[in-house]
Chain A
């Protein structure tokens, strides 16, 4: 029997980068194939081609042995292919039913929507796979895990046989990941075939039947969970042995830098996002805030950096009460911030590198005398920082727009680290970056901590948190559930905490041969 899906010789070139280089992949019916690779390896491009969002420069697609032309998502859908994207394709203000049936609407004659019939079908699918989805809910009211299931229902509604899932676990807690895997097993039992794109080794080992590793646009290895080991996979993904653990000295605490007391922050609709949070952060330590996105971490950071006024509570920075102060004052006291969304909040993309490097300091000598900008000093500063932080850019006047993600992040780091700082707030500092940049950034963060800086690290990547933090606080629904020493907690326990469950067992047995996962 021919494989249900075969990709032959797929090649796709983008300006400056060969995303897919003559890739051959096969998928058999009823199997889960994992496509493993780090950020930028070309996996998503490949799947976008399969789904008809991109056109390949070369190559062919065969479905059930038949050559198939896929020029648009409609072709893919008609061929029984469905895709769950990494960033959900859901319209927040529509109901589940409306989202699911968009494009394949059930109608009465005349084009009038038949919501009832569609809802019934959705309930049917939901019951079959135990997805627990209510068709009349507004998508924006649903938690992330449920939203993902709506995406899956979208595919099943259209009778997809081949399901592509792009980094599905990026936004899930470990428990939700397990639930997802059991759903996938049910799908496979019903005869579906699944391609699973990820960069996380644990998941690949747990749920796939076969693994194909992609690096720099090429397939560099194929194996099965039985034959493979995490080390082997890791080195296949990266092409060299990677120093996964950032060597860390024990922390050298030097007094309280940031003290947060009973902090409550509300959003613009008056919902409580940070609920009576208190913690103390000392110089020389890294406090990691773990938690699934949307549990108040963003608002906590905004309050600490002065971007949002808190409803109540007190924030003290180096002895000064900064609760209602503006961001500039807080920066001047010696705090630095690597924002979550570097392009939106950290950089002015249409400005040159040199100007971005003085975004917080342009108004002070030596960059300004009174109100007159000192261009010479700004440029000199830029040249120095470009060299020191190894920012890859054609010149200091190149628009930041044109730099790669990693280099854009380096601009932000160069800017923040070039001031004498006492507090560093880093939000998702390595999101979307390649391994080299990640290594670099982690090293710099630990370096700052060793120099006596207090570091507040906010990340949804558990591995990053566990690797770098001295202490870990888990946020759930705006509260800090507990704060633990990084060495004394297991990943499973953290996972439970992130889902709001306080584990009763302490210090679960940790498999000491478990290799640290790649941090991406």
Chain B
């Protein structure tokens, strides 16, 4: 006597927002459109024109700048906003709400740029290119976080591993060449991760305390060594590694607009693409990935099937450190060309927010990284436009966005279930 109701799946209304929240969101979309029309458009002259410069280097095929009437541009944007708002009010986006909120954010930014750059030219392409570059440490940091958290270990020491990687990269890079520097950075990150792993797995220390300790140690040691050695003129040769030059990918970099944005950078950006790709495949399509993810969800289940929990977690942590070290190398070897004391500026923590925002998914982290990269890129460009916001306030932007992202996203996202819980063997 098979009970029919057992085989039919219970209907699940996966509504992410309560109905009031849905209404509010829809109304917000429309209100913004209204604001654009009433305030921004009115502020502009009817003939004012915005120029989006499209060429930033001579490599790609050159195309003429994109010039358009500012008001018209704003009308279009407002139109899209109203459309989104109406759709949200009537139907609601349900599962895809997050994506559409993101699109909405993009529309707002575009609108403000059109308004702000009206009458002058802004290199939108340039901004996006900077976005890609600035997203690198954050995305790589997020990948590092994914590697460790998907296996159940919280790693807030990404910041510390990055600064250590930056230091090692700079010094070894100065002595033995850039590639040696990269290798050194990776090894340094791995070493710190080993400490974190031993503390978290073997001694079952609270993972946040262990991570914090590594951050303190790392920043302390690098600052100490910097002051003791690198700053002395006699030892200046230790801190002049230089950095990797950009390399234009043949063919792809010639595509107008897209080429300069994505395909004309140095090796770190390409490594980032490769890592995102490799990790996506590895995590979700391989045997290794399945076991890795099992560790983060329900290690006991894997243990009873003969998978070695401790070994898998150790490897996950070490890989996480290696990737974080690579991310750190970006700062010195991929950007500045030397080591400076506060190079990382909290990106290791922003990376964690990116990881959460990207739902512990490599591709999601890429997108999230781009978001944060874009906010950093904005801070440089906005100051030259008609925005009366002081530079320092703009510098706050990435951090504010991190908080907003966390607040808006965390409640709805679901991370690995066994994240942060040390594994006890004999406890059934």
Contacts and interface: CB of A to CB of B under 8 A. Distances in A.
Chains A and B belong together in one complex: yes
B7 A73 contact: no
Nearest to B288: A111
Interface stretch (A139-147, A232-240, A355-363, A465-473): A139-147
Given A51-B304, A73-B305, A91 B298 contact: yes
A113 B285 contact: yes
Interface string B4-27: 011101101111001000000000
B209 to A, nearest CB: 17
A129 interface: no
A92 interface: yes
Contact of A89 (B7, B13, B290, B304): B304
B417 A103 contact: no
Nearest to A106: B287
Interface in A95-138: 98-99, 101-105, 107, 110-113, 132
B305 A102 contact: yes
Contacts of A101: 290
A92 B297 contact: yes
B291 A112 contact: no
Contact of B306 (A54, A77, A107): A77
Interface string B282-314: 000111101101100110111111110000000
Interface string A375-409: 00000000000000000000000000000000000
Per DSSP, are chain A's interface residues mostly helix, strand or loop, or mixed?
loop
Interface string B133-166: 0000000000000000000000000000000000
Interface in A134-170: 141, 143, 145-146, 154
Given A113-B285, A269-B12, A271-B12, A90 B290 contact: no
Contacts of A111: 286-288
B58 interface: no
B151 to A, nearest CB: 13
A85 interface: yes
Nearest to B19: A270
Contacts of A53: 303-304, 426, 428
Given A73-B306, A113-B286, A269-B12, A102 B301 contact: yes
A103 B426 CA distance: 20
A193 interface: no
Nearest to B17: A270
B5 A98 contact: no
Given A48-B428, A53-B426, A175 B290 contact: no
B3 A103 contact: no
Given A141-B9, A500-B3, A103 B305 contact: yes
A331 interface: no
Contact of B307 (A103, A107, A112): A103
Contact of A92 (B2, B3, B287, B417): B417
Contacts of A90: 298, 301
A44 B428 CA distance: 9
Contact of B426 (A54, A73, A146, A499): A54
Contacts of A271: 10, 12-13
Contacts of A93: 297, 414, 417
B1 interface: yes
- How many B residues are at the interface, by size bracket? 35 or more
Interface string B200-239: 0000000000000000000000000000000000000000
Contacts of A94: 290, 293-294, 297
Nearest to B418: A91
A83 interface: yes
Nearest to A141: B9
Contacts of A51: 304
Contacts of B294: 91, 94, 102
B286 A73 contact: no
A244 interface: no
Nearest to A87: B428
A141 B9 CA distance: 7
A501 interface: yes
A428 interface: no
A74 interface: yes
A51 B304 CA distance: 8
Contact of A85 (B3, B5, B426, B428): B428
A105 to B, nearest CB: 4
Nearest to A138: B9
15 contacts: A44-B428, A48-B428, A53-B426, A89-B298, A89-B300, A89-B304, A91-B294, A92-B298, A93-B297, A93-B417, A94-B294, A99-B301, A102-B294, A103-B306, A143-B6
Q: Name the 7 nearest CB pairs between A and B, nearest first.
A: A74-B306, A103-B305, A89-B301, A105-B287, A73-B306, A91-B297, A111-B286
Given A73-B306, A91-B297, A111-B287, 17 more contacts: A73-B303, A85-B304, A89-B304, A89-B305, A91-B298, A92-B298, A94-B294, A94-B297, A98-B290, A102-B290, A141-B12, A145-B6, A269-B14, A270-B13, A477-B5, A499-B3, A500-B5
